[in-house]
Amino acid sequence: MKTQRTLTWLTAVALAYGLFLAITSPADVVQGQFVRIFYVHVSTAWVAFAAFGVTLIGSLAWLGFKRPILDRTAAASAEIGVFFTGLAIMTGMIWGKPVWGTAWNWGDARLVSTAVMFFVYVGYLALRRAISNPIVRANRSAVLGSMAFLMVPAVYFSVNLWRTLHQGPTIRSDGASMDPAMLSAFLTNLAAFSLLFVVFLITRTRLELLAESVASAEASERHGLAEPDLEML
Amino acid sequence: MSSQVAVVIFAYVVTYGFIVSYALWMRSRRKRLDDSQS
């Protein structure tokens, strides 16, 4: 618990420093001030990818080892992934309206594939809510959670496969041609959001396990109250 | 220039607003569950 508190404070400091660097970094020659949105946009998208990666690992681990915490971690991570995908879409739309002249383009491969990924994982969360048996729920959602990860490389490589409106990868293998102050702001925000993901994942997984133990305690309490009624019959 | 700054501020308020809201939701849910346990 103390470690988590320390991690939470560390994350808050990292986010504040990332925000400071994002504000003080130079404006872009072409985009002007709008480039500052990129620091949170890419960071939220990165967290979404990482979260769906954890869902894949948790799902495969559940299928192999059948330990409840693996399934709950996969579920918690999927929820966080959906949350950050939503944020990435929103910040992208806010950026796209003034820079591209449109907030959304149905012909753009990156935008459409990201929306599809978002709804696939919303479907994963809906599936979990639809099944009450925890074992059946874990098995079925592990299969979907493993298959759904195919959307992540599809989204990532969509800008290479289809040359549409969205620009290519930010960090390329031939070296990023970015101003050092901009690169520093970008990497700091990326690290801060990664820490935030770890804090959210720990908190959300613990919450899920706590909710289950409360529900199970309430259920056994209800059974206890039902006994006198049976005796009366 | 000022309209560009306004759009950037809006983007950051939306992002951090949602993040703080999500964190607060988890915190309040935790408290409710702790209360129901005790």
A207 with B26: Cβ contact below 8 A: yes
DSSP-derived 3-state class of residue A174:
coil
Q: Would you say residue A2 has pLDDT above 90? A: no
pLDDT of residue A225: 56
Residues A183 and A170: their CA atoms lie apart, in Å, by: 10
Per-residue burial over A9-34, b = 16 or more CB atoms within 10 Å of its CB, e = otherwise: eebeebbeebbebbeebebbeeebbb
What's the per-residue H, E or C state across A75-142? Answer: HHHHHHHHHHHHHHHHHHHHHHHHHCCCCCCCCCHHHHHHHHHHHHHHHHHHHHHHCCCHHHHHHHHH
**Span A44-72, mean pLDDT?**
97
Measure in Å the smallest separation between the Cα of A163 and chain B Cα atoms: 26
Q: Looking at this predicted complex, what is its ipTM?
A: 0.94
Contacts of A141 (CB under 8 A, 6+ apart): A59, A71, A74, A75, A124, A127, A128, A131
The better pLDDT of the pair A16, A230 is held by A16
pLDDT of residue A218: 85
Interface of chain B against chain A, CB under 8 Å?
A: 1, 4-5, 7-8, 10-12, 14-16, 18-19, 22-23, 26, 29-30, 33-34, 36-37
Cα pseudo-dihedral B29, A137, A122, A206, rounded to 10: 30
Mean pLDDT, all residues of chain A:
91
A33 with B14: Cβ contact below 8 A: no
Q: Of A91, A207, A218, which has the smallest distance from its Cβ to B11's Cβ? A: A91
Q: What is the pLDDT of residues A186-200, one digit of tens each?
A: 999 999 999 999 999
By CB atoms closer than 10 A (0-12, 13-18, 19+), residue A87 is: buried
Angle between helices A35-65 and A2-24 (to 10 degrees): 150
Using pLDDT thresholds of 50, 70 and 90, give the confidence band for residue A230. Answer: very low
- Domain positions in chain A are 2-169+181-232
A210: contact with B, CB 8 A cutoff: yes
Q: What is the pLDDT of residues A174-226, one digit of tens each?
A: 655 788 999 999 999 999 999 999 999 999 999 999 999 998 888 888 877 55
- Write out chain A residues lying below 8 Å of B22, CB-based: 83, 200
Contacts of A184 (CB under 8 A, 6+ apart): A21, A25
A94 with B14: Cβ contact below 8 A: yes
Residue in chain B nearest A36 by alpha carbon: B8
Q: What is the pLDDT of residues A128-174, one digit of tens each?
A: 999 999 999 999 999 999 999 999 999 999 988 887 778 777 666 66
C-alpha gyration radius of chain A: 21
Q: Of B10, B19, B23, which has the smallest distance from its Cβ to A94's Cβ? A: B10
